[in-house]
RNA sequence: GGCCCCGUCGUCUAGUGGUCUAGGACAUCGCCCUUUCACGGCGGUAACACGGGUUCAAAUCCCGUCGGGGUCACCA
C-alpha cells in the first residue's frame, strides 16, 4: 500500500512550491489507491503558529487536495486543530510538538547504543559511514563520510530536530514514498543514516526541483518585501499615518533590516502597489481558479507526455508518475498561468462563472458592484465579461465605468478627439440624434437596442462603428466596452440618457 | 569556498543513438474576422550552453569548460 504525506512547518502561508509538492504527493497516493497524510512539523516553537496551520489546511482544501489522515480543516476556525478530537487517523497525533515522548524514546535508544552522544543539553547523532541511496528523480546519490558531520537530533529545549522527527514519523506512519522539495536532497543522507540506525525501512525518495522567479532567483516570500522596498525607494511614505504597531518597524524595513509582512502590505496599500503572488492565498486573491493553479504548477517539472497540457486533478492522479518528473529548476511564468486561467474561465458555464465572481467579490470584502447592482444585473455583467476576463478580478477592473458616477465620469482625451470631435463633431451629432430614439426604446434590452441602432445606422447612411463608438465614449469614457447594446442594457435607460446628456454638454 | 545536483526556442517542455530540415504550449510578430475590446482562425520569428571525444550515425553516451541551483544551523 502506497502512503505519502505532506509535512509543512506551520510558519507561514502555503507557498506555490509547497502546493506543488503537496499536489504531487496527493496525486501519487490517489493514483495508486494509497493513503495521503498531512502532518505538521512544528518543532520550531518560536515560529510555528495555529493561524498558519489553519491557513495551510484552508489552502490545501481550496486546491482540491484532500487527506486521509491529519488535522481536520474547520472552515469556521472554531475548532482547534491541535485538539486530538479534531484530528483523523490511526497514527496521530499529527503535530510533532505532540509527539515529544515518542522521539525521546528513540533518542534514548540511540544514546544507549552509543550511536548518539550528549553535547551540552542537546544530543548529536554520529555520522561515520559513507551513505548512498537512490532518488527516483535524481538517480543514485552518494556522499562520503568525510563530507558529513554529526548533527543534532534533540535540541536543548527538548524538541527533536526536523531530521529525527521526520524519520521517526515517516516510519511510524508507514510512509512509503517521500516526495519533497530539492532543498531536502542534501539532508537525505542524514535521514537514511538514521533509518539504518533505528532499523526503519527506507522510503522511496523523490525530490522535486525548485520553482524560480522569471529572473532565475528563488521564488520566495521575501520577493514581496523586496518589491515593496523597491517601490518605496524614492517616494515619501506617510509614516505618521501608518498603524502604530508597525510604525517603528518601517525604518528598519526600508533599511533591509527586516522583511515585515505587515509593513510590506501597508506600503503596497498606500502606494497602490501590486505585490507578486507567491503564496497560494495570493493567487486566490488575484482571481485565479484553484484547478488552474494546480494544473499550471503541476506542469512545472512534470508533464504527461503526448503534448497534453490542460488537465484537472483527477487526470493528474491517474497519470502522475515519478519517472516523468524533470530535474531542472523551472521558472514561474505568470503569462502562461494567466492564459490558462483565461481559458478555464471562458470554458465555465455562465452561471458558474457568475457565481464564482460574486463569491469572489464577497470574500474580498465587498465591491462597488455588489453595492450598486442587483443579482440579475450582476449575472448579466458576468455573462458579458466572462469572455474578456483572465481572472476573477478582471470584471471589476474592465467594467469600472459601470459603477462610476453618471456626473463625474472621466473622458479619455484621445477618445474624445478621435470619436467625438473629428469631422466637425460628427460623433456629438450622432449622440444628439440618438438621444430621442433611445428615450423611446421599448423594451430596454440588448436585442431591441441593437435593432434600434442598426436601423438608425442604415437610415442615416452610417456604419455601425460611426454610431457605436460615440455611444461608447459617452457611457464609458473610452473606446473600449463590451458590445454596445449589452453595455447600454446593463447600464439602464436612465444612466445611459444621463451620460449622453452630460457628454454632449461637456464635450459638445 | 567544500560537497551535491542541473543545463533543448524569451519561458514551460517533448525528445532515452538514426523517424529531428528538433514537436507542443505561453509570450512575440504578421494577416483575417469585427461596432471597440476580448475571443477565434491562419501564418511567421525563435533552441539542442561551449569545446573535445566515442560511433557508420549524438540533442541523446563520455570528459572538460562555462553558467545556474541546493546545502554546509540546537530552521525546516
Predicted ipTM beyond 0.85: yes
As a 3-state breakdown, chain A gives helix, strand, coil percent values, each rounded to 5, of: 55, 10, 35
Buried b (16+ CB within 10 A) or exposed e, A197-235: bbebebbbbbbbbbbbeeeeeebbbebbbbbbbebbeee
Longest Cα–Cα distance in chain A: 100
Alpha helices, DSSP H, located in A67-217: 100-112, 162-172, 188-198
C-alpha distances (whole Å) from A404 to each of A365, A368, A401 are 19, 9, 5
The pLDDT, as a whole number, for residue A285 is 95
Residue A336 CA, nucleotide B51 C1', distance (Å): 36
pLDDT in the model for residue A410: 93
The yes-or-no answer on residue A79 being catalytic is no
SS3 A116: strand
CB A69 within 8 A of CB A40: no
DSSP secondary structure string for all residues of A19-37:
HHHHHHHHHHHHHTT-EEE
Task: Write down the pTM of the prediction.
Answer: 0.93
Other Cβ atoms within 10 Å of A505 Cβ, number: 8
Is A329 in a helix, a strand, or coil? coil
| Interatomic CA–C1' length for residue A328 and nucleotide B50, angstroms | 19
pLDDT at residue A334, rounded to an integer: 94
Kindly provide the b/e burial profile for residues A447-465, where b requires at least 16 CB atoms within 10 angstroms of the residue's own CB: eebbebbeebbeeeeeeee
Of A23, A1, A22, the closest CA to residue A173 belongs to A1
Chain B nucleotides close to protein (CB under 7 A) are: 2-8, 10-16, 23-27, 34-40, 68-76
The A 257-316 residues near strand B by Cβ under 7 Å are 299-301, 303, 305, 307, 309
Distance of C1' in B52 from CA in A153, Å: 48
Q: Which residues pair with A134 in a beta bridge?
A: A140
Using the CA of A47, give the nucleotide whose C1' is nearest.
Answer: B75
Asked if A259 contacts A222 with a C-beta cutoff of 8 angstroms, the reply is yes
What distances in angstroms separate CA A75 from CA A12, A57, A63, A81, A95, one per listed residue? Answer: 18, 9, 14, 11, 19
Cα A120 from Cα A104, distance rounded (Å): 16
Handedness of CA A171, A176, A180, A184 (dihedral sign): positive
DSSP state of A324: G
The answer to whether A402 touches A295, Cβ cutoff 8 Å, is no
Are the C-beta atoms of A138 and A188 separated by less than 8 Å?
no
* DSSP-assigned letter for residue A407: T
Using the CB atom, is residue A215 less than 7 Å from strand B?
Answer: no
In this complex, the answer to whether residue A220 has its CB under 7 A from any atom of chain B, a nucleic strand, is no
A339 touches strand B (CB under 7 A): yes
Rounded to whole angstroms, the Cα distance separating A448 from A36 reads: 57
Residue A256: the pLDDT is: 82
Q: Which of A35, A45, A46, A48 is nearest to A8 (CA)?
A: A48
d(CA A205, CA A135): 5
Q: How far is CA A152 from CA A109, A147, A266, A470, in A?
A: 15, 16, 39, 74
Q: Is the CB of residue A244 inside 7 Å of nucleic acid strand B?
A: no
Q: Distance between CA A200 and CA A195 in Å, rounded?
A: 5
The number of CA neighbours under 13 Å toward the Cβ of A243 is 10
Q: Which nucleotide is nearest to A119 (CA to C1')?
A: B74
Q: Which three cell numbers stand for residue A48?
A: 510555528
**Closest among A373, A408, A7 to A177, alpha carbons compared:** A7
- DSSP class per residue in A258-304: ---HHHHHHHHHHTTPPPPP-BHHHHHHTT--HHHHHHHHHHSSB--
Q: What is the pLDDT of residue A235?
A: 79
Write down the pLDDT at residue A244.
86
The Cα–Cα gap between A211 and A328 comes to 10
Contacts of A297-303 with C-beta under 8 Å, sequence gap 24+, read A297/A16, A297/A19, A297/A20, A297/A23, A297/A211, A298/A20, A298/A23, A298/A24, A298/A27, A300/A20, A300/A211, A300/A330, A300/A332, A301/A20, A301/A208, A301/A209, A301/A211, A301/A325, A301/A326, A301/A330, A302/A24, A302/A326
Contact at 8 Å (CB) between A483 and A491? no
Q: Count the residues in chain A.
A: 508
Q: What's the pLDDT score for residue A236?
A: 81
Residue among A2, A113, A14, A64 nearest A295 (CA): A64
Q: Which of A221, A310, A418, A425 is catalytic?
A: A221
DSSP H/E element including A503: helix A493-507
What local confidence, expressed as pLDDT, does residue A257 receive?
82
> Which pLDDT does position A310 carry in this prediction?
94
Residues of A257-267 as b/e, b for ≥16 C-beta within 10 angstroms? eebbeebbbbb
Residue by residue, pLDDT tens for chain A (508 residues) are: 999 999 999 999 999 999 999 999 999 999 999 999 999 999 888 888 999 999 999 999 999 999 999 999 999 989 999 999 999 999 989 999 999 999 999 999 999 999 999 999 999 999 888 888 999 999 888 888 888 889 999 999 999 999 999 999 999 999 999 999 999 998 999 999 999 999 999 999 999 999 999 888 888 888 888 888 888 887 788 888 888 888 888 888 888 888 888 889 899 888 888 889 999 999 999 999 999 999 999 999 999 988 899 999 999 999 999 999 999 999 999 999 999 999 999 999 999 999 999 999 999 998 999 999 999 999 999 999 999 999 999 999 999 999 999 999 999 999 999 988 888 888 899 999 999 999 999 899 999 999 999 999 999 989 999 999 999 999 999 999 999 999 999 999 999 999 999 999 998 8
d(CA A22, CA A409): 48
Distance in Å, residue A305 CA to nucleotide B18 C1': 22
Amino acid at each position: 500500500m502506497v502512503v505519502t504525506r505532506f509535512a509543512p512547518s506551520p510558519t507561514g502561508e502555503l507557498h506555490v512550491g509547497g502546493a506543488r509538492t503537496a499536489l504531487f504527493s496527493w496525486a501519487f497516493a490517489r493514483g495508486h489507491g494509497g493513503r495521503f497524510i498531512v502532518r505538521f512539523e512544528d518543532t520550531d516553537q518560536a515560529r510555528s503558529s495555529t493561524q498558519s496551520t489553519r491557513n495551510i489546511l484552508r489552502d490545501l482544501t481550496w486546491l482540491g487536495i484532500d487527506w486521509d489522515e491529519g488535522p481536520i480543516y474547520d472552515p469556521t476556525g472554531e475548532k482547534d486543530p491541535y485538539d486530538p478530537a479534531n484530528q483523523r487517523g490511526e497514527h496521530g497525533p499529527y503535530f510533532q510538538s505532540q509527539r515529544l515522548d515518542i522521539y525521546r524514546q528513540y533518542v534514548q535508544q540511540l544514546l544507549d547504543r552509543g550511536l548518539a552522544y550528549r553535547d551540552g543539553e542537546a544530543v548529536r547523532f554520529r555520522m561515520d559511514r559513507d551513505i548512498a541511496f537512490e532518488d527516483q528523480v535524481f538517480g543514485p546519490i552518494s556522499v562520503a563520510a568525510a563530507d558529513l558531520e554529526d548533527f543534532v537530533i534533540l535540541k536543548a529545549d527538548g524538541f527533536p530536530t526536523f531530521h529525527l522527527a521526520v524519520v521517526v514519523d515517516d516510519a511510524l506512519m508507514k510512509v512509503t514514498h517521500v516526495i519533497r522539495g530539492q532543498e531536502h536532497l542534501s539532508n537525505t543522507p542524514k535521514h537514511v543514516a538514521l533509518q539504518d540506525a533505528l532499523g526503519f525501512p527506507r522510503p522511496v525518495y523523490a525530490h522535486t526541483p525548485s520553482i524560480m522567479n522569471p529572473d532565475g532567483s528563488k521564488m520566495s516570500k521575501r520577493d514581496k518585501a523586496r518589491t515593496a522596498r523597491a517601490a518605496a525607494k524614492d517616494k515619501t511614505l506617510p509614516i505618521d499615518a501608518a498603524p502604530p504597531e508597525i510604525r517603528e518597524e518601517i525604518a528598519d524595513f526600508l533599511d533591509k533590516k527586516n522583511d515585515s509582512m505587515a509593513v510590506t502590505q501597508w506600503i503596497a496599500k498606500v502606494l497602490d502597489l501590486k505585490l507578486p503572488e507567491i503564496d497560494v492565498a495570493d493567487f486566490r486573491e488575484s482571481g485565479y481558479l484553484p484547478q488552474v493553479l494546480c494544473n499550471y504548477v503541476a506542469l512545472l517539472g512534470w508533464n504527461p507526455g503526448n503534448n497534453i497540457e490542460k488537465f484537472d486533478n483527477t487526470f493528474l492522479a491517474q497519470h502522475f508518475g515519478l519517472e516523468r518528473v524533470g530535474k531542472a529548476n523551472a521558472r514561474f511564468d505568470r503569462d502562461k498561468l494567466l492564459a490558462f486561467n483565461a481559458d478555464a474561465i471562458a470554458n465555465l458555464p455562465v452561471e458558474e462563472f457568475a457565481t464564482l465572481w460574486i463569491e469572489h467579490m464577497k470574500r474580498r470584502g465587498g465591491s462597488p458592484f455588489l453595492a450598486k447592482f442587483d443579482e440579475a444585473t450582476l449575472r448579466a455583467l458576468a455573462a458579458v465579461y466572462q469572455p474578456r476576463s483572465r481572472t476573477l478580478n478582471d470584471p471589476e477592473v474592465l467594467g469600472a465605468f459601470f459603477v462610476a458616477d453618471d456626473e463625474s465620469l472621466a473622458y479619455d482625451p484621445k477618445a474624445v478627439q478621435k470619436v467625438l470631435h473629428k469631422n466637425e463633431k460628427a460623433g456629438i451629432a450622432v449622440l444628439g440624434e440618438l438621444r430621442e430614439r433611445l428615450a423611446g426604446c421599448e423594451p430596454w434590452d440588448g436585442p431591441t437596442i441593437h435593432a434600434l441602432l442598426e436601423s438608425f445606422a442604415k437610415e442615416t447612411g452610417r456604419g455601425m462603428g460611426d454610431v457605436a463608438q460615440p455611444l461608447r465614449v459617452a457611457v464609458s469614457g473610452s473606446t473600449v466596452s463590451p458590445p454596445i447594446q449589452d453595455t447600454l442594457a446593463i447600464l439602464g435607460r436612465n444612466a445611459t440618457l444621463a451620460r449622453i446628456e452630460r457628454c454632449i454638454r461637456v464635450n459638445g
